[in-house]
Structure formats: structure tokens, C-alpha cells
Structure 1
Amino acid sequence: MALDFPLIFLLPAHLGSEELQGLEDQIPTLTYDINEAEVILGKVSRKERALFELRKHKLVLEEVARAKGSASPSPKCRRLLTPVDAFSDATSDTASDTESHVNFKQPSSPVFSTSRTATVKVVKLAWFTESVKAGRVLPLDDYVVFEGRKPPPTPMKPQLLPTTTAADILKRALVDAPAAPGGGSRPRFSYGQGKGRMEEPSHHAKRPPALIHQTTSEHEIDLHLPPIPDFLHTTYSCQRPTPINPPNETFIEQLTKIRTARTLTGDKIGVRAYSSAIATLAAYPYYLSSAQEVARLPGCGSKIALLYQEFKETGELSEAKEDEIDPRLAVLKLFYEIWGVGETTAREFYNKGWRDLDDIVEYGWDSLTRVQQIGVKYYDEFQAKIPREEVESISNIILQHANEICKGFQMVIVGGYRRGKLASGDVDLVLSHPDENATKGIIEKIVVSLERSGYITHTLILSTKNSERGQMPVAWKGDGRKAGTGFDTLDKAMVVWQDPNCESSDGEKKKKKTKNPNLHRRVDIIVSPWKTAGCAVLGWTSGTTFQRDLRRYCKKERSLKFDSSGIRSRAEGSWVDLETGPDGKPAPDMLTAERRVFRGLGLEWRPPEERCTG
């Protein structure tokens, strides 16, 4: 039975991605809105650090003096403890503002108070972990770093209404005349791509609506809303069909822009919350009609509902628009798109004063890794999308070279291509062979063969970890450490590809000295042993949130550890074989193996085109 914790906001500071995700999965009363939290939990040990985190999250609290050894408010404050808010046991990955439900009874728990006037406590992470270990919610006394109360709103002074005369009314009417029909400041419609959008006057600052407004007609529509599909009553996007072009794609694109900004600024909790909301909306099979329809969806709530209301009224989101014109975010995005540079490194580049690629080359070239140097060198070419026909051509050349080394290799093109994208950012493919001896060490031979043929110009990463351990799936806690954070340990080569065959305008082969006009492409070649090929194809095909939720589902529902190199038992640490048939025979092909993984995990089969969670 879940412990009766208060509403908890988890501070991401000093938490790694794996630790952050693990804690979020454990907290039954997690909220992503710090303003509604009763306890703010984190790796905080000093009051100064607690105050810094509160300022960072824009939460203003008035410090409350606490009696040493007392977890409850002073007698003077205790008189204010009615009515109180009931706790909610709902758990979801949302960016919502959960509404409070009120009951009029005195709180019974001595650990924390739930009054509207109760304080908010910044608490050490040890309180939660030790409570879980003890099987009960421990008193907060020894763990509170800072305690504060939200300041009451400033009361408005009553003002006497001035006497209004007919002359005053006429004067005001003349002043307001430009805003009437035909006036210059009335909002106007503009039409772009077939859709009308409201444009605010330039002197108006766009702001998200503070409340969800609902007209009578909208209320009537809500009475006839379509039922929420059964598959949306789960927090795991791996249990839902999610098409590549959902009905509400335009609104989702706006949310994706906000999520990108959160990624660039290091807001891990915001990224996860928006990812969950986007995955839910992408799986919703109906066109949205009202903010109330959004609020009822799992993973969304009132925060996303307010954003939808703004989108419905204006055709865009002000936050997304502001992010697009933010010069700092524009630079961070430029750096983030360099191959080999993550969001943390992008911020480091920015903090060094660099503002474009030329700055990196002039001031920091020698400090870059070789991979980052290649990413900068071919930045523009890597940004160009790869058509499906070219993806197929590159993949078939690689398969041909593999079969020249050892006949019998099979291949599945994965990534965005398999999910149905018309163009891809890179080429991802999985190779495997029924004979396990054929896949051992083959990746190095394939790379050498393609380099000699002129197709591979640079090898960014070459990993042979799987072959080095005899192609055995690594145990969950092998060698006394975790097996990773979701990235597999398969043999792989991440390379730069350029077709060496180029022709002049008259169809003749160009001389070798002439510069090759073909674009450099990013290609990932993954080699899996046959016994885990289904996991490899599943992991490398699915969208990011689908993969995240698949790992979460395996952990919470099956006590398993999943990644593309296999499935392991969390209880015993050993490999779990889901790809061998009931007759003891291996799968006849890689796609059949993938279906067996779905079935073995108790998941309904989802074709690649339904795994587009983003």
C-alpha cells in the first residue's frame, strides 16, 4: 500500500537523470507545480541553498520560526487550520496545476499539516528515502531545512466611485472610438496556410489566460465529448497507438517548441512533464474542441488546458513564440544541434562567450573532442534531411558489404524511417545473423570494407563491447554496477557517410581531384546477436517517450530491466529470453523476434507507425 505522503515537488538539482527518474517513479504524490506542493524535496542541506532554489523556481515564502523539536505549528497558528485540503493519491507525469479539494475536518496526521494557511517545507531527500525504507511516513523534524508561508495577497483599498455625468460618458465614448468596429486597434484576422489566426495589436503584450473560460455553447459541447479511449487510461505510452500525424499535430508542435526550450535550459522535470503531455495528445484520436477536453486527459491537466485555450484563441503559444525569438535560446539551439554536443555542453559553450560556429572555431577548436570537431565541420550537411530513397540505398550498400564478409545477414532499417517519416536526420539500421559466430567482431570488418570502398569518411564511435564479452547479455548489476541508463551495449559504429560515386552534368564520372558534391550523412550501424535481435529492433525503432515508458513499464509492472541489448531480471540479474519460441527454436526473422518481445512483456503489438511519441 502506498504511503500517505503530502504533495511533493522534487528539486532536480544535483540529481542525475537515472536517479531523478527513479525518484519520480517512487513518489506517489509527485507534483510538477511547485506552487501547490506542501513539501519541496531535494539534495539540500543548508537554508541558503533552500532559499536559492526557491528563488530559482520563483516561489516567494515568508520564513516561519520553528520551535526546535516540533513538527507542528505554534498554538497561535493552529487556530487557523480549518478548512483543510484533502490529499490526492493520483499519480501522473503531468505539467498540470492540480485543483485542491476541501474538507472541513481537523488533520489527523502529526507529520505534516494540510491547511490552506499551513507552511511549505523544504526537506532533505533523506526524509523520503528513509520513510520508504521504514515503511511509514517519518516525522519531518530532523529533515526540515527551511519552512515558510506564502504571503497573503495585499488587500485593495476601497475607493469611492466618482460621480458620473452624461458629459463624462460622451467624452469616454470619443476616446474609445478607435477601438470600435472600423477603428485601428481592433484585432484582425490574417490567413496563412488556410487557417485564420487572431493577431493582437502590436502594442498589446500577449499573455496566457489566467482562467479557463467557457461559454454556454462550449459547456454544451463538453456534455457530448467523445469518451476517453481505454488505452489512454494508462501512464505508459508504450501501451497506446500513437500515429505519426495525429489530429492535433499543430498544437503538439507548439508544445514541442516549449519542451525544446526546457531541454536547452536544463529543466529536466519540465521536459518529462511536457513529453508525457505530448505523448497523450499525440495518441488522442479526436480533434480537440475545448480546454475542458484537454484537462480531462491523463498526463495533461489544467496547465496544458490553459495552453490549449490560448492556442485556440490565438493560433499559437506566446511562450513558444518568445522562445523562438530569444537570442540566448537561439545560440543554445545552434550549439545543441552540433553532433557530439549535448544540452550541458551547449550551455558551457555559451557561458564561455561563444555565439556562433565561427567563435567555436576561432576560440575553442583545440578544446573540442574529435567528434565535436567533425560535428562543427559538417554542421550544415548534417542538418539536411535524408530522403527515404537515400536511406534505403545507404542501408542496402551496408547489407551487401556484410553479406560479402559472411552470407546470411538480415537487416532492418529502424529509427524515424521505420516509423514512417518522409525524411530522416540520420540512418539507423540493425544487422543480425542466425549464426552467433557471424555477428561476433563483424562490425570492425564492415567498417574497414566500407572505408576501403570510399563510403565511410570518418568513424565517430566504434564499440565492440558486446563481442568482447562473448555476446552475452550483460547482467542487470554485472561487475557490481548498473548496466546503463537506457543506452544499449551492442556492437555499433557511428560513422560519417558520403557516396563516392558522383557524375558531372553530362553523365560522365568526375575525376578524383574534383570535389565530391554528395552530402555527408550520419549513419549508425548496430549489430545484434540473433537471440536479442527483437529487443534491438524494438529499442532502436520506437520514439523517445515510447522507449522511456517501455523501460518504466518493465521496471514497475514486470520487475525487468529493458534496453536494446536485452532484458534482465531485476530480482536475479540474469538475462530473460523472450525471443525463443515455445518449441525451443529461435525466431525465423528479426521482425518475428520483435513481436515475441511485445508478447512476452504482456504488451499489445504496436506497428512502428504507431510508436511516434516524440
Structure 2
Amino acid sequence: MVPLKRRKVVSSISTEDINRFPNVVIFLLVRKMGESRRAFLSQLGRKKGFQVEDSFSDLVTHVVSENNTGEEVRMWLRSQQKDKALTAQLLDMSWYTESMRAGCPVQILDRHKLQDEESVKEESVVEFSVPTYACQRRTTSDDHNSKLTDALTLLAENAELNNEDGRAVAFRRAAAVLKALPETVTSMTQLRRLPCLGEHSQRVIKDIIEDGVSGEVESTRHSERFKALKCLTGIFGVGAKTADRWFREGIQTLEHLVVSEHELNRAQQAGLEHYDDLNQPVTKAEALKIGDIVKRALLNVLPGCEMTLTGGFRRGKMTGHDVDFLITHPDEGKEVGLMPKVVSWLTAQGVLLYEKTTRSSFLVSENGPAQPPSNMDRFERCFSIFKLEKEKMDSVNAYPQTRYSGQITASNSHLVEANEMPNTHLPANKWRAVRVDLVVSPISQFPFALLGWTGSKLFERELRRWAGHVKSMSLSSHALYDNTQCKYLRATSEEEIFAHLGLEFIAPSDRNA
């Protein structure tokens, strides 16, 4: 008698060995699909009982491809000398995915059949078209394709956490293109003429359009590594490399970090202590209230300064993760050494929970900046955490308008003095911690600094890419250099900078790429 355990092994049959549909033989075309995706889909089909062949033959009844027209598939088959008496159905991936969900071959409809280029053009679906560079197009805060852009942004964040900057930029450019569209995407056909949509991004978009969700995105979102690195980089002063090192040491949560007794620097200590506050959105009202505090500091230290709220708030957003202020003085040179004095005054008022001040390292000659522009600016600045009173968040009007906004002079100083300083001795539940960046720029560089610190990050990256690739210029937050003429181009406003670059001026509210 055969033992029970042995009988089980003999009688077990792999589901991949069962061909439930003998009249259906499928070949997945690797062109535009990629080997890894093809292998995954082939394995999925075999588990469902389909016969999926790794190579094309006369036995194949269904040729399935992705992002190809019927003519492109036939040309590929001809190049392989495999189009003799072709009788197989040429089908889009949608037929395959619907069959996988149904667990059996679904009826072949017209929408499943590959179309030739001419017939595709005759479809009623409107194709979108946008310029290649984000700095050429207007992008408001409205997003008609948030489901797609959120998915691509998550993959970009994951790439950044893994120090894959190239992949991160590719995903962010694809998301920026979709965000600029005036309507919701309903078909991949609409995207055929759009720039910056690589094969990887297209696969993600296609999955969401057809299935409502991307398996890759969901897998990333719920992965232990992604969740841990997001948590750890949420600590002020912790970057991707530090978070990755901690993760490899077994640290995945704040609790793990505390018990590990890692030695933290000052920024990280403050970030851990105020973690919850710093990971809560900052409102526009809170940003303006902080602005009043900074204006009071400037009035006491150097009257006549000009200050502008930059970043997402200048682009029209109502919330942000931090608050950025750009400061200058109409008299060139008077701003030198300003930041330490402002920080000293704020510290005496008990407003600062943390601060790190850096001196300006940008040299200026008679003809312009004495060193080449770079993507990293070298202004005098202070990265800080403010202690902001929670109660009585009064509605604060916009700054009094001057040349750039918010000049503090003797004539309007009463506006600042009317706002009393916050009570810094309040109980912990009466105040919150807020990240604040203060940047000081010479008036001659102010338009470039204003442009650079307004963002968005991708919009600025695309501006620099346009300047270099199209105009043979170098743009930074300090200056614009013409590499052809070998000279710096002066500007007294953002409009002049756009004009130098040969671009139509785009208002801050339309730079939300």
C-alpha cells in the first residue's frame, strides 16, 4: 500500500500544467512591453490555465501587444519572417487583462483589436498636446488627473528614497505633464503625442486607466522599506542616505530610533522632538503670522528691508510643509551680516526652537558674480524651527505692497508694532513648531532669488534645463550667464529673466508643475 504522504505528491498537479482552453494559444509580444513585464504576465496567464507561448509559431491563435498598432505588429512579425499566412488575432493588452480577471477568454470586441495608424487617427478621442518643458506651460494647483499624478509621485518619492535620482526625475516629469492637462485622461490614445512619458510611466498609467489601480504602486506603498524610509526622512535633518543606513540597522520607526540610542545631531534632535508638529501642514494664516514676527525683527534690526513670502504660498497654495521668506534691502550691501542680527533678536524673544545660520559664500565682481552659477545657491540663510502660538489665529492681510512686497519702513512700522509678540511661555498644547527658512539676497540678485525660491522644484529644474539645452545659458538663483556672449544678463524683475530666456512670462500661480 502506498503511504498517504506519497499518494498526495503523486496525485498533485500544478495549475500551470492545466491547459483549460486548448483552442487559445497566446503569444505576448515583447516589443514596448519589456522582458520582465512579459515574464510576469506569461506566468499569470499560465496560472489561470491559459497556454502562453514564449515564441511565435503557427500554433499561436492570439498575438497580444502593448502600445503597438496593428501595422507595427505585422512589421515586427515580418522582420522575424513569421508572418506567413498569418491567421492569429492581433489584440491589445486590454483583452488579455480582461481575460485574466474573468478567468477565461473574453469575447473579442472591436476595442480589443489592434488598429492601424490611419484608423486610430479617425477615432473621436481627443489627443492632448503640451510643450516639452514644464517652464513653457501653465500649471495651476488644479489637477484633473490626481489619481495618475499621485501614483507617479509616489514612485518618484520611492526612487528618491533609494537614491535613484534619474528615475525620480522621470516620474516627476511624467506627473507634471499629466497635471498640466485640461481634462481627465480616459484612454491611452489621448497620450500618444505627449512628451516625457516613458515606457515605465505609461505602464503605470495604463494599469490605472484599465484596472483602476497599479499593482506596482500599491506594492510600493505598502512595502516595509518605503513606509520606514518615509517615516525616518520625516525627521527634520534626516536625509535618504541616513534613513537607509538606519533601516539596514533594523530601525524602522521612531520608537526603534529612540531605543537604539543613536547619537543625533542638533537638527535631528529637534526634528525628533517636534516630529508630529513638523509633519502637519502649515496654513497660510500661520505663515502670515510668522511673517509678522519676522517683519518685527527686521524693523528692529534694519528698517527699510523688503521681505517676500515665497515657496508654495507664493504659488497660491493654502497649505505647505514649511514657510520660506526672502529678504533684501534696496541699498546694495546693507544686507551683509543681517541674518545673525535677526536670529539674535528672535532668540532673545524666545521664538526659536532651533536655528542654523550659514554665511553667504557667493562672491561678486564688477561685471557680475565672480564664480559660475550652480544649482545650489549660496545666500546668507537660516534654517529654523519657530515656536508659534496656536490660539487667536487672526486673519492677516497680505503684506503692504512695495517693489516686491512687504517693505518695512518708518511709514508702515505701526502695522508690525500693532501685532504683539507671541507668549513664549505658553503650555505645550498652546503652541506648535513650524519649519521656517529665512534667506537674504543682495538687491541686484533678488529677481533671480525670487524666481528660484518660488518653485516648484520641477519648474525650476526645467527652467535651468531650458536655459542650458535651448539657449546655451546658465541659470541659478544668483544670476543668468550667456555662454555664447560670455557675459551676465542683468534683470530687475522675473519678467526680464523670462524675456532673456525667450519664454513667455508665467505667473507664480501657474508654476505648480
The TM-score, its normalising length taken from structure 2, stands at 0.69
Supply the distance in 1 between the matched residues of 2:200 and 2:390 (Cα, whole angstroms): 53
The answer for the alignment partner of 2:152 in structure 1 is: 255
The answer for the alignment partner of 2:93 in structure 1 is: none
Supply the distance in 1 between the matched residues of 2:32 and 2:127 (Cα, whole angstroms): 29
Contact 1:295 1:302 in 2 (8 A): no
- The one-character-per-residue Cα deviations of 1:380-401 (angstroms, maximum 9, x if unpaired) are 1100111111111111221232
The answer for the alignment partner of 2:185 in structure 1 is: 288
Does residue 439 of the first structure (1) align with residue 338 of the second (2)? no
The answer for the alignment partner of 2:355 in structure 1 is: 459
Contact 1:495 1:522 in 2 (8 A): yes
The answer for the alignment partner of 1:595 in structure 2 is: 495
**Residue of 286, 299, 304 corresponding to 1:390:** 286
Does residue 611 of the first structure (1) align with residue 508 of the second (2)? no
Distance 1:116 1:436, change over 3 A: farther
Structure 2: runs of 5 or more not aligned: 1-29, 40-65, 81-97, 104-109, 393-421
Letter in 2 for 1:490: F
Supply the distance in 2 between the matched residues of 1:327 and 1:374 (Cα, whole angstroms): 25
**Residue of 487, 490, 493 corresponding to 2:379:** 490
Supply the distance in 1 between the matched residues of 2:204 and 2:177 (Cα, whole angstroms): 15
- The one-character-per-residue Cα deviations of 1:189-210 (angstroms, maximum 9, x if unpaired) are xxxxxxxxxxx9xx9899xxxx
Distance 1:439 1:599, change over 3 A: same
Supply the distance in 2 between the matched residues of 1:339 and 1:472 (Cα, whole angstroms): 39
**Aligned runs of 1:519-598 on 2, under 5 Å?**
519-570=432-483, 574-579=487-492, 593-598=493-498
Contact 2:125 2:189 in 1 (8 A): no
**Residue of 291, 299, 310 corresponding to 2:207:** 310
Root-mean-square deviation (CA, aligned residues, Å) is: 4.0
The Cα of 1:242 is off from its aligned counterpart by 0.9
Q: Which deviates more, 386-395 or 343-352?
A: 343-352
The Cα of 1:260 is off from its aligned counterpart by 1.5
The Cα of 1:550 is off from its aligned counterpart by 0.7
The Cα of 1:569 is off from its aligned counterpart by 3.6
**Residue of 301, 306, 309 corresponding to 1:410:** 306
**Aligned runs of 1:508-519 on 2, under 5 Å?**
512=425, 514-515=427-428, 517-519=430-432
Contact 1:459 1:496 in 2 (8 A): yes
The Cα of 1:318 is off from its aligned counterpart by 1.7
**Residue of 339, 342, 354 corresponding to 2:236:** 339
The answer for the alignment partner of 1:449 in structure 2 is: 345
Letter in 1 for 2:299: N
- The one-character-per-residue Cα deviations of 1:525-581 (angstroms, maximum 9, x if unpaired) are 1111111111111111121111111111111122222121222344576533122xx
Letter in 1 for 2:153: T
Distance 1:346 1:571, change over 3 A: farther
The answer for the alignment partner of 1:246 in structure 2 is: 143
**Residue of 117, 124, 138 corresponding to 1:224:** 124
The answer for the alignment partner of 1:399 in structure 2 is: 295
Supply the distance in 2 between the matched residues of 1:261 and 1:558 (Cα, whole angstroms): 33
Supply the distance in 1 between the matched residues of 2:386 and 2:134 (Cα, whole angstroms): 34
The Cα of 1:35 is off from its aligned counterpart by 8.9
Letter in 2 for 1:392: L
The TM-score, its normalising length taken from structure 1, stands at 0.58
Distance 1:604 1:355, change over 3 A: same
Q: Secondary structure at the match of 1:412?
A: strand
The answer for the alignment partner of 2:268 in structure 1 is: 372
Q: Secondary structure at the match of 2:474?
A: strand
Does residue 357 of the first structure (1) align with residue 357 of the second (2)? no
- The one-character-per-residue Cα deviations of 1:452-508 (angstroms, maximum 9, x if unpaired) are 112122113433324x7689964454xxxxx54x121111111110036879xxxxx
Supply the distance in 1 between the matched residues of 2:79 and 2:248 (Cα, whole angstroms): 42
Supply the distance in 2 between the matched residues of 1:330 and 1:471 (Cα, whole angstroms): 51
The answer for the alignment partner of 1:236 in structure 2 is: 133
Distance 1:116 1:577, change over 3 A: farther
Supply the distance in 1 between the matched residues of 2:424 and 2:452 (Cα, whole angstroms): 42
Contact 2:384 2:435 in 1 (8 A): yes
Supply the distance in 1 between the matched residues of 2:423 and 2:292 (Cα, whole angstroms): 24
The Cα of 1:522 is off from its aligned counterpart by 0.4
Distance 1:476 1:385, change over 3 A: same
Contact 2:389 2:423 in 1 (8 A): no
The answer for the alignment partner of 1:274 in structure 2 is: 171
Distance 1:371 1:574, change over 3 A: farther
Contact 2:277 2:434 in 1 (8 A): yes
- The one-character-per-residue Cα deviations of 1:420-454 (angstroms, maximum 9, x if unpaired) are 22211000111122111321111111111111112
When the two structures are aligned, how many residues end up with a matched partner? 401
Distance 1:261 1:253, change over 3 A: same
What fraction of aligned residue pairs are identical, expressed as a percent?
25
The Cα of 1:328 is off from its aligned counterpart by 1.5
Letter in 2 for 1:417: F
- The one-character-per-residue Cα deviations of 1:296-320 (angstroms, maximum 9, x if unpaired) are 3111155434333321233222222
Contact 1:276 1:545 in 2 (8 A): yes
**Aligned runs of 1:9-20 on 2, under 5 Å?**
none
**Residue of 211, 221, 232 corresponding to 1:324:** 221
Contact 1:263 1:271 in 2 (8 A): yes
Distance 1:511 1:256, change over 3 A: closer
Letter in 2 for 1:443: M
Q: Secondary structure at the match of 2:388?
A: coil
Supply the distance in 2 between the matched residues of 1:489 and 1:400 (Cα, whole angstroms): 25
Supply the distance in 2 between the matched residues of 1:559 and 1:326 (Cα, whole angstroms): 43
Distance 1:510 1:391, change over 3 A: closer
Supply the distance in 1 between the matched residues of 2:72 and 2:141 (Cα, whole angstroms): 38
The Cα of 1:102 is off from its aligned counterpart by 9.8
Supply the distance in 2 between the matched residues of 1:400 and 1:511 (Cα, whole angstroms): 16
Distance 1:205 1:279, change over 3 A: farther
Supply the distance in 1 between the matched residues of 2:483 and 2:250 (Cα, whole angstroms): 46
Letter in 1 for 2:178: L
Distance 1:116 1:377, change over 3 A: farther
Supply the distance in 2 between the matched residues of 1:510 and 1:404 (Cα, whole angstroms): 19
Letter in 2 for 1:377: E
Letter in 1 for 2:446: A
**Aligned runs of 1:499-510 on 2, under 5 Å?**
499=388
Does residue 264 of the first structure (1) align with residue 161 of the second (2)? yes
Q: Secondary structure at the match of 1:577?
A: coil
Supply the distance in 2 between the matched residues of 1:393 and 1:237 (Cα, whole angstroms): 32
Supply the distance in 2 between the matched residues of 1:365 and 1:311 (Cα, whole angstroms): 42
Supply the distance in 1 between the matched residues of 2:209 and 2:286 (Cα, whole angstroms): 39
Distance 1:473 1:345, change over 3 A: farther
